[in-house]
Amino acid sequence: MKHLFVFLILVVIFTGCGEGFGTASSNSGSKTDPTTVLQSSYATLLTVGDFLYAINNSELTTFSLRDPKNPEEINRQDVGFDIENIFHQAGVLFIGSQQAISIFLIGPDGIPRRQSSTDYFSSKDIKPCDPVIVDGEFAYVTLSTTAQQGPCRRTIQINELRVYNVRDLSHPKLVSTLEIDKPKGLGIDGNYLFVCMATKGVAVLDKSNPQELKQIGNLESFESYDLIAHEGLLMVVCPKEIRQYDYTDIHNILYLSSIEL
Amino acid sequence: MLILIVAITFFSSCTKEKKDIVVYGMAPIYLEEVDTAQIRREDPRAFSELGILVTQGNYLFINERYQGIHVIDNTDPSNPVNKHFWRIPGNQRFVIKGDLLYADNSINLLTIDVSDYRHIKVIDTDEDYFIIENDVLIRPPLDYSGPFECFDSSKGILLGWAQKELKNPKCNAY
């Protein structure tokens, strides 16, 4: 009887685990599990439980997938301009745009409610490209632009990675910035952060201390736009190819393959 | 006689029309019809302009901007195999969930049954979620600056942008 009780407890624990609504981030689970879905950072359409979230240039639309073959709109709201991506972690949506990171809490009805927005700049001259991804309490966003500013049309460059503490969803706080050459898409696995550099390959960073990111490596020199990092496998999207690397040993990253056709 | 010739030359240059401005720039490529029967599996093709990447299990799905989705068997990442191309004219964004693919064609949200990767089928269409009402917001890729032919939604769905000789372009990207 005692063994049955323990067994039942274990059954409850293990069936409660896994990708339920609000318990997982956008990229979790085993990559060989046929149901695990991973997305690169520039995603503008994603599913969370029985809901589908879609971004056009300025609106976030929520669809119910109660009948997955027939999505039904249940909400539409303006969320800013020039949106680059949407990311989900534990029931919270983070939207990266050229103006700000906006944070939305998903209600029990599946409808997102805005908690806050961070402003990058007040100047309208500057248009960075900004996907945001989140791991635990910290949001990581890349800003990359060349802009003409002021009456003399002075050229300024903004190329950086920013880290925000988002534990308080209503008041994100800038924690650190790191200059990176033309940063684009990015991805995280544990203590490591991988950032595409438009023409210089991929930067490999140690993020165990988000206040002080350290660059620990660099993958070759190729054009890279976006990536997925998961369980030791790095998949990089380049304009005309997909490059894959094994980073199980982070100090000895192995090139695996390139798909061109 | 000489005075007559000079007079004719003078007057013809005064009535000469203003020159057209002809420059190289970007122009939209349009798909004229929205026809879900065009959405189908095709043989694998080369990569040209890749967008977002989504994986499910051992498969990689990669957007080919405005054209569709490449499907790659990545069971062995040292030896990935390009298996299919899902033709979806106008496609920019998608996500996959089990046997269902949710994808756009720049205007509508499509629900596509992909239980058989060789025979995909649109089973639902939700209209007008991605169309940008204000044509002023549509412009060539952000890394381009220069003149472009303004997008006109009455001409069809935006498939992409191409270099072209433009006459009197009214739009400019900064």
- Nearest CB to B82; choose among A45, A81, A261: A261
Test A63 with B50 for CB contact under 8 angstroms. no
| pLDDT mean over A25-42 | 74
Mutate to test the interface with A, among B45, B55, B58, B133 (most CBs of A within 10 A): B55
CA angle A219, A224, A209 (to 5 degrees): 55
Task: Report CA-CA distances (Å) from B98 to A50, A65, A188, B117.
Answer: 13, 13, 24, 12
What does the pLDDT read at residue A190?
Answer: 96
Q: What is the CATH number of domain A181-261?
A: 2.40.10
Query: Is residue A17 scored above 50 in pLDDT?
Result: no
Query: What mean pLDDT do residues B2-23 have?
Result: 67
Residues 26-85 of A with CB under 8 A from B: 31-40, 42-47, 52, 54-58, 61, 63, 65, 68-71, 73, 81
Total beta-carbon pairs less than 8 A apart between chain A and chain B:
149
Tell me which chain A residue has its CA closest to the CA of residue B65. A239
- Each residue's pLDDT tens digit, A51-75: 999 998 789 999 999 999 999 999 9
Q: Is A227 an 8 Å CB contact of chain B?
A: yes
Whole-number Å distance between alpha carbons of B127 and A68: 17
- Per the CB < 8 A criterion, the answer to whether A176 and A163 are in contact is yes
Q: Could you tell me the residue ranges of all domains in chain B?
A: 17-173
Do residues A37 and B54 make contact, with C-beta atoms less than 8 angstroms apart?
Answer: yes
**Ranges of each domain in chain A:** 181-261
Residue of B63, B69, B95 for testing the chain A interface, max A β-carbons within 10 Å: B95
Kindly report, residue by residue over A120-161, the tens digit of the pLDDT.
654 444 455 679 999 999 999 998 876 666 667 677 778 899
The answer, yes or no, to whether residue A174 has pLDDT greater than 50, is yes
What is the pLDDT, as a whole number, of residue A256? 97
**Amino acid identity for residue A106 in this structure:** I
B123 contact residues in A (CB cutoff 8 A): 69
* Rounded distance between C-alpha atoms, residue A117 and residue A96, angstroms: 10
pLDDT higher than threshold 70 for residue B71: yes
For B68, list phi and psi in degrees, rounded to 5: 155, -150
Residues 6+ apart with CB under 8 A from A15: none
Chain B residues with CB-CB distance to A44 below 8 A: 52, 92-93
Q: Residue A78 has which token pair?
A: 């303006």
Q: How crowded is residue A56: how many other Cβ atoms within 10 Å of its Cβ? A: 22
Measured between beta carbons, the chain A residues lying within 8 angstroms of B58 are 31-32, 34
Res B29: pLDDT? 86
Q: Which residues are CB-neighbours of A179 under 8 A, at least 6 positions away?
A: A159, A160
Q: Does A92 touch chain B (CB under 8 A)?
A: no
**Residue B92 contacts residue B63 (beta carbons within 8 Å):** yes
Residues of A in contact with B102 (CB under 8 A): 45, 47, 52, 71
Q: Which residues of A125-143 are buried (b: 16+ CB within 10 A; e: fewer)?
A: ebbbbbbbbbbeebbbbbb
Please report the residues numbered 234 through 253 in chain A whose beta carbons come closer than 8 angstroms to any beta carbon of chain B: 235, 237-242, 244, 246
Rounded to an integer, the average pLDDT of A185-197 is: 96
- Count Cβ atoms below 10 Å from residue A37 Cβ, excluding itself: 22
Give the ranges where chain B is alpha helix by DSSP (H). Answer: 2-14
Q: What is the mean pLDDT of residues A90-94?
A: 96
Amino acid A129: pLDDT: 60
Measured in angstroms, the CA of A161 and the nearest CA of chain B are apart by: 19
Is A45–B44 a contact, with Cβ atoms under 8 angstroms apart?
no
Q: Is A235 close to B56, i.e. CB distance below 8 A? A: no
Q: Does residue A14 carry a pLDDT above 50? A: no
Q: Decide if A33 and B57 are in contact by the 8 Å CB cutoff.
A: yes
* Cβ-Cβ contacts under 8 Å, A244 against chain B: 74, 77-78, 80
Question: Residue A22: is its pLDDT beyond 50?
Answer: no
What number is the average pLDDT over the span B79-107? Answer: 94
CB A258 within 8 A of CB B79: no
- Name which of A36, A39, A88, A189 to mutate to probe chain B: the one with the most chain B Cβ atoms within 10 A of its Cβ: A39
Note whether A259 contacts B: Cβ–Cβ < 8 A: yes
The minimum CA-CA distance between B57 and chain A, rounded to whole Å, is: 4
Of the pLDDT bands very low, low, confident and very high (cuts 50, 70, 90), residue B121 is: very high
For B25-67, write each residue's pLDDT tens digit: 999 888 766 678 889 999 999 998 899 999 999 999 999 988 9
Range from A95-109, A115-129, B68-82 that averages highest in pLDDT: B68-82
Q: Closest CB to B98: pick one of A35, A73, A238.
A: A35
Residue A10 has pLDDT above 60, yes or no: no
State both tokens at A15.
């069936």
Question: SS3 string of B74-99?
Answer: CCCCCCCEEEEEEECCCCCCEEEECC
Query: What's phi and psi for B34, nearest 5 deg?
Result: -100, 105
Instruction: Indicate the range of A48-52, A97-101, A253-257, B46-50 predicted with least confidence.
Output: A97-101
Q: Structure pTM? A: 0.82
Distance, CA of B43 to CA of B55 (rounded, Å)? 20
**B82/A54 touch (CB, cutoff 8 Å), yes or no:** no
What is the distance between the terminal CA atoms of chain B, rounded to a whole angstrom?
55
